[in-house]
Amino acid sequence: MTGARLRSLTASVLALTLSLAGAASAQDPPRRAVSGRTAATVSDVESVTTEISWCFGVASGVLAGGDLFQVANDLTVPWSPPAGGADFNAKRFTVTLDEAAAFGLTAAKRLTPRGWLRLDLTAGRMDAAALANDSQFVTPVLYDRWNVVQLDLAWEQRLTDTRLQPLLRAGLSYTGISATADAADQSVPGLLLGAGFAYRGGPRWSLGLDLADHIQQFTLDGLPAEQDFPASSDYREFGPQHLVTVTARLIANF
């Protein structure tokens, strides 16, 4: 997934979150006091439900990345991918991260009526593909494999008090990479921006849908020496890099 597509997806989800927040606020009926003489509405039932202080849950979804680096040479020459397999011929190639399945755990503590301090742990295994260009054709080739672990600490602000709650997130992330190429192994801090929704299915459970953009700078400049790139090759890293997660959550409320 390219950086432009990632930014477009993030902007679209943010716009949808804000529009639904406005619609939910406009349609939320005023709450009435519950008494023995009147039937309780949905809002009345929610108003007398024990206040939730903690949330714990599991998550699954998709982890996507963008372009990492580009290598160019004056001539079409063979290159050896660190993940193994046959050499490929290219005049230049760009290495980009493919989409992969992601799984995680989440926990949150309510600190204000709509504000939560949230901790997320997400893991996935991503293929880094080389888009090999020999001046005539572009061929995708498996170049490397990344085991990715992300730890996020963020403030989650829910925008309404309705059953369906649009939310925004901002905070810090810490991403650990274990790759086939030793030069790619690293742990880097970054920023987290996100948006999504939480749906109160019952007093003790909820569903969530989240999009989170992790912004950081990976350093891969040890690859040319490790992979014996020709001295005439031009190596260029892209950045900052974006790792985007789209996950669904099943949440227990306490």
Look at residue 85 in the predicted model and tell me its pLDDT: 85
Look at residue 135 in the predicted model and tell me its pLDDT: 87
Residue 206 lies in a domain: yes
Residue 154 lies in a domain: yes
Look at residue 51 in the predicted model and tell me its pLDDT: 83
Look at residue 44 in the predicted model and tell me its pLDDT: 44
Q: CA nearest 67: which of 215, 187, 247, 240?
A: 240
Question: Distance between CA 233 and CA 104 in Å, rounded?
Answer: 40
Residue 231 lies in a domain: no
Look at residue 163 in the predicted model and tell me its pLDDT: 95
Residue 46 lies in a domain: yes
Contact by Cβ (8 Å): 254, 110:
no
Within 153-228, residue ranges assigned H as helices are 223-226
Residue 26 lies in a domain: yes
Full residue range of the structural domain in which residue 173 is found: 3-75+96-130+143-222+237-253
Reading the chain (254 residues) residue by residue, the pLDDT tens digits are 555 555 565 556 556 656 655 555 555 544 444 455 554 455 543 543 448 999 999 999 999 999 999 999 999 999 999 999 889 999 999 999 999 999 999 999 999 999 999 999 999 999 999 999 998 899 999 999 999 999 999 999 999 999 999 999 999 999 999 999 999 999 999 999 999 999 999 999 999 999 999 999 999 999 999 999 999 999 999 999 999 999 999 999 99
Q: CA nearest 209: which of 221, 219, 217, 201?
A: 201
Residue 136 lies in a domain: no
- Dihedral over alpha carbons 178, 219, 122, 141 (to 10 degrees): -70
Residue 123 lies in a domain: yes
Look at residue 34 in the predicted model and tell me its pLDDT: 47
What are the angstrom distances between the C-alpha of 81 and each of 14, 131, 215? 38, 12, 26
Look at residue 37 in the predicted model and tell me its pLDDT: 52
Q: For the chain, what is the domain count?
A: 1
- Write the CATH number for 190: 2.40.160.20
Look at residue 20 in the predicted model and tell me its pLDDT: 58
Residue 37 lies in a domain: yes
pTM, full prediction: 0.83
Residue 157 phi, psi (nearest 5): -110, 115
Residue 59 in tokens = 């998550």
